[in-house]
Structure 1
Amino acid sequence: MKMKKTMLWTALALLCASVLPVLSANATTPSCTNCFEKRWIYFSGNITRAPTSADARHKKLLELIHVAKAEGYNGIAFNPGANGSFASMLSATAPPPDYYPNYAEIVRVAKENGIELIPVGGGPEMPAKVAPDLIEALPVKDTLFIVHDGHAVPQGQIINSDSSFENRDAAWDLIEKNVGGLAYDTIEAHSGQTSVKFTQASQTNRARLLRTLSNIRPHAAYRMSFWIATKNYNAPLSIRIYGEGATPMYSNPNARLGWGTSNGLWNSDENIIATTQGWKQYNLDFNSGNNSSLKLYFMNEGNGSNSDGLAWLDDVEIREIGLSHTIRRDPQSLPISVTSADGSISYAEWNSDAQTPADYIVGMESLSIPANSTIREGQILRVSSYQSGQNMTSMWSTPASACHEKFFDIQKRYFDKTYALLSAPQKFFLYYDENRVMNWDPACGNITGGKYLANTIARHQQVLLDVYPNVELYVWNDMFDPKMNAIPKYWAVNGDLTDSWKGLKSSTTVVNWTGGSEKEYTNTLALKKKSLEFFHALGHQQMIAGYYDDESTELDALKSWLDALTAAEANGVNSVKGFMYTTWKDVDGYANVKKVADFIKSKQPQRWPQQ
């Protein structure tokens, strides 16, 4: 119902301010009977690329502050990116010249309008940006190297048969071959006479080529190379590799066709195909993890706009590699070991003190064998190391290992800097979300993925609260939710993620995005209700992260959230204290800020101030 502004109402509001919860940072926002106390907008992006008047994202954020005030929102959860991220303050190089002036302008305008700024960041990947040696690294065990002419290199035989498709080996499964998605082709080929042709006009809107790799060794590193040519092709062709139980081991949203490597270093850009191109070679590196069998897919799940578009694939070769993207830490917790083929002799690595006789010197994907080494020409060696998890699931968000005090020292410095930059914010949103590679560091001990993540978040919260005891902490739900990612098999996590939620302090607010942009009503509503009930039972306050770029006329995904909340409240849930307008469309994602507020006011008017 609409409240009439009168002197009496103002006096009552002032009288009750000390005993009633504060419903808005904006003193002029009318109250409501069962209001979402926290009504936020999620904003991400770099606001420091140019001076305030010329930076598009900076201008959008300033605009959004005024829109938020007008529409009854009272906070902006702010997750800056790239060189404008909070982590830039920890870099050895200075932030961009417009960094501090642009932030100062945002802080000033937000304060003037009564809009609270909530910093978002400090995810498990952040320490790796400051200390790259902390990045998660998977074990590579007993790769066979052969010594030749003073160097040892992986034997590297091709492990997949019929790499050029000449024999049409049944091991290659053209899943959509009968509905026009793909077929063998004898017109175009990189080598020989045959390739696999992907057609953009598949009757099922998808095309998948599957190869089951049953001769994979657990804890081994591999490089896959392949050739692609295209003609008018713009479908989203991608590569995915699944382990046992359909668990993804390689699927990179930053690079659908993977991220290649040259001379032991990551390429500057991801693997990209042009709409029309001649034959071009690509590669990617992966790790088998705990799997002895993998399923490799070349696939698209959309036809694209050119009905006559074609892509050809040829010469797919998979080889075992070693010492690729090797991670070493100081103090040494990720050892490199070199033994004889039977494991009976361990060889000594060269070190800078030159006091120990050296049998080998570690290089990129090779060992140098000094003249005085006890390793002999033609000898077979077993080499073990640790391979960076970067690019298996993301270029930018691969976590750091939290089993080193340096991880938490960096997190504290990060928040110290952020706290000063944003003029002492009273809330901090920890960005634990879709963390798909973790718990491979031997320094962590033999624990489950759930125990590892619980330990990490517990220590992270405590480190911050020891210094900032009054700061409210927030975290996404997914990594701690048994209906989402806290499950026995999750991506390239080592071990069961169940019980990860046991590391959350009950005082930490859970920001719940169950269902995301899914518009299906019945099942999604049930999942949302169960998730709300789960975290309520653990004693957490919650916020709903809604909208998720829902373009439906009736905002179906948001409606299911409101209905799920009503159903959960009928079942005793009284801990949902806020709502966050959440978009992933950069500056174009905020056109419906008013529409969402109006929708909530129309469907459940008690939850939103009636302007």
Structure 2
Amino acid sequence: MKRAARAGYNGIALSDYKFNILDRMPERYFRNLAKVRDVASRLKLDIYPCVMPIGYSSGILAHDPNLAEGLPVKDALFIVRGKEAHLIAHPPVELRNGDFERVNGHRFIGWDFQDGIGISTFAEHSIVHSGTVAIRMENFRKGNKHGNCRVMQTVKVAPFRQYHVSVWIRSEVVSPADSIRILILAPDGMTLSYNDLKVKPTQSWREHHIVFNSLRYNHVRIYIGIWGGNRGRIWFDDARIEEVGFLNLLRRLGCPLVVRGEDGTIYEEGRDFEPVRDERMGMAPYIGHYEVYHKPPPLRLTPNSRIKDGERLRVSFYHTMLIYWGQVMCCLSEPKVYEILRDQIERVDAALKPKGFSMQHDEIRIANWCLACQRRKMTPGQLLADNVRRCVKIIRTVRPNAEIFVWSDMFDPHHNARDRYYLVNGTLEGSWEGLARDVIIVNWNFRKRHESMRWFAKRGHKQILAGYYDGNPMRIRTWLNDARNIEGIIGVMYTTWQHKYDDLEEFARAVGW
């Protein structure tokens, strides 16, 4: 803070996950927070706490993991065996030659597509996870000029079902390792999976998992491999797909569980089957955090259940989905979300008495699937407009004269406020209609900065330019030059996501402070 003050900065966007759970924090935390507040005051630095995590919602979900947005599973088949009912894939689902045992030279039989056969993809007979053959990938750019090295197979699925894909992976000095993926594409090109496999550059055999919902599709393309590979070697073996049941099962009014017989009988929870809970949902490793895959619980019958042994059940429910390294989005419609947000603002305001707040609406990648949202018959853009309007009202109620900031992307039609954005069900257009004119936009759309700055200026918003992004500190000059004739550009922010403050002073000099 002292360096920032000397360099000419006048405020801090203060981010701390604990702002979401102040009701659990010990007294010593508040003493330390008061010290930060007092030092900032002496240095004439205004504090703007980061609140309302709409997008990266773990802070909200720490109060109730069931508030996550849910994707629907419709009429999954469960068959009763004794006192338990287990999911049976219907239709049956499989990866042909998923164990990679059947080969013709270096071509893997059953796979519909294979990059660089005998050039970058090879039948490996020495290093295998099981059996006698694995697939080895290397020399990525010899087989594909872009460094893509993959196998692909089209698989028949049922619409609105949850599927788990796994594969064993071994790696050796791979770069970039985070580009090793299992990718699920719908026939129209929509990506259905965004799980990060977390493969290390060098590792021994390890099983990796992704989960996807088939949504409205009855076929998907499953890719396994690396995109943009530069160097190293990768081995894959024992790939498989299965339909799964109550994995990351959500239980709230907006995510109902329905169990019915194929004759139409609706069975009752507590009377015909025991209460269903996925005990690891939102508890991995602690409350509000989720894991891609674990063994889902079965459906257990009560002693006096009307459900018979051997009966075929059709089960509908909702599950949450992780994006990349663990992002989970909250529901935009559940009333409890807004109770939690109001409590957060009241507690943060009491602790810091800030000049304003920075709302964390950002990269909202799943929305408008659960029944709570669907019943409102609104587009995702309308739901988000309503959400941000309510969030601003909460802040204004607690601190009427607060300055309010929000990230630009979810309200920018030149960025993420658009149709076909990740797993959002519908268009996000119109989200900006919920923004009051006095909400200040923190604009990070450098790539389309001309269109973006003009868009928000035309709508009457003041803007802060979010520069740096752990790159060249001098690039802010380009942005400021392009902003010269745009009204309402009131400042810039040194924006780091890597806790990299080495360039704090150089950035200030580039701005001209």
Q: 2:115 aligns with which of 157, 164, 175?
A: 175
Take 1:115 and 1:598, find their aligned partners in 2: how far apart are those partners? 18
1:309-330 deviation per Cα after TM superposition (whole angstroms, max 9, x unaligned): 322111111111111111101x
Counterpart of 2:316 in structure 1 is 384
- What are the residue-to-residue correspondences of 1:182-331 with 2, within 5 Å? 182-199=121-138, 202-203=141-142, 204=145, 206-233=147-174, 235-236=176-177, 237-243=180-186, 245-252=188-195, 256-257=196-197, 272-273=199-200, 275-277=202-204, 279-301=205-227, 303=229, 309-329=232-252
Deviations for 1:18-54, whole angstroms, at most 9, x for unmatched residues? xxxxxxxxxxxxxxxxxxxxxxxxxxxxxxxxxxxxx
Is contact 2:114–2:152 with CA below 8 Å preserved after alignment?
A: no
Q: Structure 1 pair 421/205, CA: closer, same or farther in 2 (3 Å)? A: farther
CA distance in 1, matches of 2:154, 2:394: 44
Residue in 2 that maps onto 1:470 = 401
Once residues 194 and 228 of structure 2 are traced to their aligned partners in structure 1, the CA distance between those partners, rounded to angstroms, is 17
- Cα distance in 1 for residues equivalent to 2:157 and 2:62: 32
Residue 583 (structure 1) aligns with: 496
8 Å CA contact 1:200–1:233 kept in 2: the answer is no
| Map of 1:346 onto structure 2 | 266
Q: What is the distance in 2 between the residues matched to 1:240 and 1:578? A: 40
CA contact (8 A) 2:273 2:299 kept: no
AA partner of residue 184 (structure 2): I
- In structure 2, the residue matched to 1:461 is 392
Instruction: Quote how far apart the aligned CAs of 1:158 are.
Output: 3.8
Deviations 1:429-485 (A, max 9, x none): 100111211222211223211111111111111122123211111100101111111
Alignment of 1:297-446 (within 5 A): 297-301=223-227, 303=229, 309-329=232-252, 332-341=253-262, 344-350=264-270, 357-359=271-273, 361-362=275-276, 364-389=296-321, 391-395=322-326, 397-422=327-352, 424-444=353-373, 445=375, 446=377
Q: Label 1:420 to 1:370 Cα distance change in 2 as closer, same or farther (>3 A).
A: closer
CA deviation map 1:200-252 (0-9, x unaligned): 66444633324354423222111112212234446412333344554433224
> For the residues of structure 2 that align with 1:280 and 1:547, how far apart are their CA atoms?
37
The answer to whether the aligner puts 1:133 opposite 2:66 as a matched pair is: yes
What's the secondary structure of 1:130's corresponding residue?
coil
Q: Which of 81, 96, 103 is residue 33 of structure 2 equivalent to?
A: 103
**Displacement after TM superposition at 1:420 (Å):** 1.8
Inter-CA distance 600–459: structure 2 relative to 1 (3 Å threshold): same
Aligned equivalents of 1:139, 1:172: Cα separation in 2: 29
| CA positional deviation for 1:301 | 4.1
For 1:142 and 1:104, the matched residues in 2 are separated by 54
Of 146, 170, 181, the residue aligned with 2:79 is: 146
CA gap of 1:200–1:542, structure 2 versus 1, over 3 A, is same
Select which of 108, 115, 133 maps to 2:45.
115
Whether 1:160 aligns to 2:107 is no
Deviation at 1:582, TM superposition (A): 0.8
In the TM superposition, residue 71 of structure 1 has moved relative to its aligned partner by: 1.5
Identity %: 29
* Structure with larger Rg: 1
User: Which residue number in structure 2 is paired with residue 520 of structure 1?
Assistant: none
Deviation per residue, 1:553-611 (Å, 9 max, x gap): xx3x4233123213xx1xxx31111111111111xx1111111121222xxxxxx4xxx
Show structure 2 runs of 5+ residues with no match: 103-107, 278-295
The 3-state SS of whatever aligns with 1:590 is: coil
Partner of 1:532: 453
Q: Partners of 1:542 and 1:181 in 2: how far apart?
A: 49
The structure-2 alpha-carbon separation of the partners of 1:545 and 1:359, relative to structure 1 and needing over 3 Å to count, comes to: closer
The Cα shift of 1:367 comes to 1.1
**Inter-partner Cα distance in structure 2 for 1:143 and 1:127:** 30
Counterpart CA distance in 2 for 1:243 and 1:98 is 51
SS in 2 for 1:487: coil
**Unmatched 5+ stretches in structure 1:** 1-64, 258-270, 351-356, 516-523, 602-607
Compared CA separation, residues 540 and 293, structure 1 to 2 (3 A) = farther
Q: Take 1:360 and 1:598, find their aligned partners in 2: how far apart are those partners?
A: 65
Deviations 1:502-535 (CA, angstroms, capped at 9, x unpaired): 11111111110003xxxxxxxx3xx211101111
Distance 1:129 1:283, change over 3 A: same
**CA-to-partner distance for each residue in 1:98-156, whole Å, 9 max, x for gaps?**
52232222111111111111111211213222121211111111111111122110114
User: 1:280 offset after TM fit, Å?
Assistant: 2.9
2 CA distance for matches of 1:135 and 1:536? 34
Larger deviation, residues 412-421 vs 155-164: 155-164
**Cα deviation digits, residues 382-407 of structure 1 (max 9, x gap):** 11111122x24442x41211212211
1:248 alignment partner, SS class: coil
**Contact 1:151-1:367 at 8 Å conserved across structures:** yes
TM-score calculated relative to the size of structure 2: 0.87
Whichever residue aligns with residue 349 of structure 2, its letter is Y
Q: Secondary structure at the match of 2:309?
A: coil
**SS of aligned partner of 2:212:** strand
Change (3 A) 1:374 1:486: same
For 1:121 and 1:299, the matched residues in 2 are separated by 38
Spell out the pairing of 1:475-486 with structure 2 (5 A cutoff). 475-486=406-417
Kept after mapping to 2: 8 A contact 1:182/1:198: yes
Q: Which moved more, 1:163-172 or 1:425-434?
A: 163-172
Contact 1:543 1:579 in 2 (8 A): yes
Opposite residue 190 of structure 1, the aligned amino acid is H
Moved more, 218-227 or 97-106: 97-106
